[in-house]
Amino acid sequence: MAQPLFGPGKPLSSPLYMASVYDVGDADTCDAVLGNETPGFAYARDAHPNATHLAGHLATLEGAAWAHITSSGMAALSAVMLSLVRPGQQVLLSNRLYGKSTVLVRQELKRFGVESAVIDACDLDQVANALAAGPRLFLVETLSNPMLRLVDVDKIGKMCRAQRCKLFVDNTFATPILLKPLAHGADLVMESLTKMIGGHSDVTLGLVAGHDPDLAMTLGKVITTWGFTADPFPCWLTERSLYTLDLRMRTATANAAEVADFLAKQQGIVQVVYPGRPDHPDHGLACTLLPQGAGNMLAFEVPGDRAAVNRFLQAGPIPLCPSLGHATTTFSHPASSSHRADSPAGRAAQGITEGLLRLSVGIEPVDTILDQLSRHLQAI
Ligand SMILES: *Cc1c(COP(=O)(O)O)cnc(C)c1O
């Protein structure tokens, strides 16, 4: 006789359900499961236990009524756009978005007749003017890359509500540990789980979460129909990462604050960009919006050209990786990676010089990070 799957001896950690299809028993049950009338699983592109478990944990963490897991952060962004926007409608974009988010709306959605406008989300007069044109959706990032500008989610949330525009927040750099945008007036939040939430550079995955049950249904249909579903294994790995997310974010944030102050004291560093420091333009907003700390990301500028940056990178052990959120500290170089498609003038306007480096601060003992950075600094 087959043993019951669970009962006494139920595993404490979630099993990995590496299955694309399920035995549904009979035609009535099949009908009911596929029609969402009975809980259960039939086909993994529609739903599977590892995504459902992970979504449940993350919905709680975001303070959301529901959450959907997608195969990447970009899949989450695409799913929201395809769920909410029709040809002829306008999407409003912050001018400091992840590069591919802007490409998604300005190039891909444009092929389907979707209009867009780009504004400075830190300038509330510009926001008010742009909202008067009646956009369907406004996409902002809580903390921007790489200059770590903050948006006033509460104020923009109120302004969007008054104009019946949906506020969609990419919260990847803050994570729900530091900020829960839905509690500050956002209608929808997305996270690239590939970054701090996954936390070990071994998954590509996304999340979208919100309150509105109708939107949950629409998004669910878009995700399963367009095929944005995530595989079980990365969902399982990411559920495992959630046990340490709070610890990792707190430690990395505390480390970043120390590293920023350390760098600011070094001879030869041109500038340090960290919203936790009083010399950052959004320091005041950071104190109110991010009371637990300004996150694990910072940027700083070394003097000189590309050759000087290469010498700096080669002088020590911290690796150059065009991503963020690993458990250990990594560099990225915006001019040659995230912002390489921008014109030199466009980069200059954002303060992105050849010497600007971004640091994704990890959870090592802070002295280890400072020692490693000191070795790089000898190249200056
Ligand atoms: C990485 C990233 C994305 C895209 O996520 P993927 O998981 O790489 O598809 C979107 N927004 C921000 C802010 C990111 O850093």
Percentage of residues of the chain with pLDDT beyond 70: 98
- Among residues 195, 248, 347, 358, the one annotated as catalytic is 195
Question: Which of 369, 292, 290, 291 is CA-nearest to residue 326?
Answer: 369
User: Which residue lies with its CA nearest to atom 2 of ligand 1?
Assistant: 192
- Write down the mean pLDDT value for the chain: 96
Could you tell me the pTM of the whole model?
0.97
**Residue 166 appears among annotated catalytic residues:** no
- pLDDT tens string 80-121: 999 999 999 999 999 999 999 999 999 999 999 999 999 999
- Average pLDDT for residues 225-239, to the nearest whole number? 98
Neighbour tally for 36: CB within 10 Å: 12
- pLDDT tens string 187-209: 999 999 999 999 999 999 999 99
- pLDDT tens string 108-164: 999 999 999 999 999 999 999 999 999 999 999 999 999 999 999 999 999 999 999
- pLDDT tens string 258-304: 999 999 999 999 999 999 999 999 999 999 999 999 999 999 999 99
φ and ψ at residue 220, rounded to 5 degrees: -60, -40
User: Which residue lies with its CA nearest to atom 6 of ligand 1?
Assistant: 73
**Residue 158 appears among annotated catalytic residues:** no
Percentage of residues of the chain with pLDDT beyond 90: 94
Rounded distance between C-alpha atoms, residue 324 and residue 260, angstroms? 17
Question: To 5 degrees, how large is the angle CA 339–CA 370–CA 316?
Answer: 60
Rounded distance between C-alpha atoms, residue 304 and residue 353, angstroms? 9
Q: Ligand 1 pocket, 204 CB below 6 A? A: yes
Determine which helix (DSSP H) or strand (DSSP E) holds 256, and give its type and residue range: helix 232-264
Lowest mean pLDDT among 12-26, 71-85, 277-291, 335-349: 335-349
Question: Is the pLDDT reported for residue 1 higher than 50?
Answer: no
Question: Which of 376, 194, 197, 329 is CA-nearest to residue 321?
Answer: 329
Q: Ligand 1 pocket, 170 CB below 6 A? A: yes
Indicate left, alpha or beta for 7 from its phi (over 0: left) and psi (-120 to 50: alpha): left
Which numbered atom of ligand 1 lies nearest the CA of 173? 13
Question: Is the pLDDT reported for residue 4 higher than 70?
Answer: no
Q: Ligand 1 pocket, 74 CB below 6 A? A: yes
The confidence band for 9, taking pLDDT boundaries of 50, 70 and 90, is confident
- Strands of 330-332's sheet in order across: 271-273, 297-301, 356-360, 330-332
Contact 48, 28 (CB under 8 A): no
User: Which residue lies with its CA nearest to atom 8 of ligand 1?
Assistant: 73
Residue type, 119: I
Question: Is the pLDDT reported for residue 183 higher than 60?
Answer: yes
Question: Is the pLDDT reported for residue 5 higher than 80?
Answer: no
Rounded distance between C-alpha atoms, residue 91 and residue 93, angstroms? 6
- pLDDT tens string 27-44: 999 999 998 899 999 999
